[in-house]
Structure 1
Amino acid sequence: MALDKVITRPLFIEVHRLHPFFERGTDVDVVLDLMIHDLDIILKFVDSKIKSLEAVGVPVLSDKVDISNVRLSFACGCIANVTASRISAKTMQKIRFFSPEGYHAVDYQKREIISLNKQANAEGKQQIVQNNIEVGSHDPLEEEIRSFVEAVVNRTAPLVSGEDARKSLALAVEIIRKMKTSEVLRK
């Protein structure tokens, strides 16, 4: 990801992955269908234990959860607020990182990254500077699969390790468990 060198200590992460309803993927909760991709990214940037997890999910158009919101609180102080929906009127795929170094917004749909930082101007006064980080037109999922195939063929480490994938899946399963035990769905 183009942000690997830019984001060093995120303190707040906000994610919106919203899509219109399609029959595809409705055999699983939206957490496993859409949110899991963002969980993987969050865990990549926040190397800290999860201190608390709050989750709510609502089955609206299918018998599985179609919209979910999760709040992760990490031991390092970072908070991640993640919303995934497959019942939105419009598609939105954004992740935003807030840190002492600046603000970084990734728009997966537009394939752009906007980064805002403070920098001293010629007089030494702090000003906000916007940097647009170039993102290639590659498909991240295709790149991940290609990396895996190359790793098998060349016996090298893939872009996403099996351990990383296991951690993301374990977190997704824990989120689903938490949603099922929440007051909202038990009524």
Structure 2
Amino acid sequence: MSQKLKAAVVGVGYLGTFHAQKLKAHPAVDLVGVCDFSYEQAKKVAADLQTQAYEKPQDLLKHVDYVHIAASTQSHYDLAALFLENKIPVLVEKPIAATADLAEKLTELSEKNKTLLSVGHIERLNPAFRLLKESTDKIQYLEINRLAPFRTRGSDVSVLHDLTIHDIDLVNWILNSEIVDYQVAGKKIIKPTYDDVSLRLKFASGAQVTINNSRVTPQIIRNYRAVFENKVIFTNTATLESEVLTAESQDPFHKVEKIQLDKVDALALEADRFVQCVLGKQEPLITAVEATKALRQVEQFIAHMDKELS
């Protein structure tokens, strides 16, 4: 067997710990270490996964072939830049950076040093959304709902940076079209940033998209309704249960087919995809340019809401 790639995870809180677990389990990867702003947390995860804890990300530079960054959003730029400057490939969790301007700087650094940079927009691997991407029929109207109760994790940024950015990236990817008009409304309920938002988007393709995101809804709701010329697909994006209603020319004027999509370990798939990228066998699942575009759009929506509130 060829020599394993040496990898590390920077930021091993809730999500970063899962990243470390996936790398530990990957047959082509040697998890050589984990790093966290809390050295005690790094030592705990390192002990659980039988690897090395590092106190400073700089200490990893001589030991890794690539890294996953899953630290707080505010630190994404500094951490990613550190490794890119040393020509070490980076997979950074979404959003790519705290601001689109910083994201563009990372993109430029990646291109300048000819070093891989990809972003963890993992929902592209969700079979529910791949169903829409692979459809040969044209979407007329799409409604996406991603709602949940409040939790502290992820609340350091707005709901648009935490949840909406997933759905903006998804519709950009699925429709492969540009937004030509939009309406947006949002509320700040618990945090000083937006906790709840509703978007209505119009694309150059003619498709209309509604996105509802909340981190202050009593129940977890994950679904979409996609309307085509002669069919409607309703899918629970968490359970992957899907129903397809197709119009018929005679009574009973429609038929409904129930589909159970196969579940996948999306984070393991994301980790493997980046391994293949580092090995030069595949292209990134999502580029820095695409991730920056989604972040720029989120900032545009926030600026619009701020203006309406002023």
TM bracket (short chain):
0.7 to 0.9
What is the identity, as a one-letter code, of the residue corresponding to 2:216?
I
1:43 and 1:172 map into 2 onto residues whose CA distance is: 12
Over 3 Å counting, the alpha-carbon distance change for 1:149 and 1:45 in structure 2 is: same
The answer to whether the 8 Å contact 2:235/2:241 transfers is yes
Structure number with higher relative contact order (C-alpha < 8 Å, ≥ 6 residues apart)? 1
Over 3 Å counting, the alpha-carbon distance change for 1:134 and 1:157 in structure 2 is: farther
The share of aligned pairs that are identical, in percent, is 25
Whether 2:31 is the aligned partner of 1:31: answer no
What is the identity, as a one-letter code, of the residue corresponding to 1:5?
E
1:8 and 1:161 map into 2 onto residues whose CA distance is: 26
Alignment of 1:135-146 (within 5 A): 135-146=261-272
Displacement of 1:10 = 1.0
Quote the residue 2:238 is aligned against: 109
Displacement of 1:179 = 1.8
Quote the residue 2:148 is aligned against: 19
Structure 2 unaligned runs (5+)? 1-129
Whether 2:275 is the aligned partner of 1:149: answer yes
Over 3 Å counting, the alpha-carbon distance change for 1:68 and 1:18 in structure 2 is: same
Structure 1 unaligned runs (5+)? none
- Greater strand percent: which structure? 1
Alignment of 1:1-187 (within 5 A): 1-6=130-135, 8-119=137-248, 127-182=253-308, 185-186=309-310
When normalised by structure 2's length, the TM-score is 0.53
Over 3 Å counting, the alpha-carbon distance change for 1:24 and 1:147 in structure 2 is: same
The answer to whether the 8 Å contact 1:13/1:96 transfers is yes
Choose 67-76 or 134-143, whichever is displaced more. 134-143
2:255 and 2:161 map into 1 onto residues whose CA distance is: 37
Quote the residue 2:72 is aligned against: none
- Greater helix percent: which structure? 2
- Which structure has the larger Rg? 2
Displacement of 1:178 = 1.7
User: Matched residue of 2:171: which SS?
Assistant: helix
Q: Which runs of 4+ in 1 moved over 6 A?
A: none
The answer to whether the 8 Å contact 1:10/1:45 transfers is no
The answer to whether the 8 Å contact 2:222/2:238 transfers is yes
User: Matched residue of 2:253: which SS?
Assistant: strand
Over 3 Å counting, the alpha-carbon distance change for 1:152 and 1:114 in structure 2 is: farther
Cα RMSD for the two superposed structures: 2.1
Instruction: Give per-residue Cα distances to partners, 1:33-82, cap 9 Å, x unaligned.
Output: 01111112111222222111211211101111000111111122211111
2:135 and 2:173 map into 1 onto residues whose CA distance is: 13
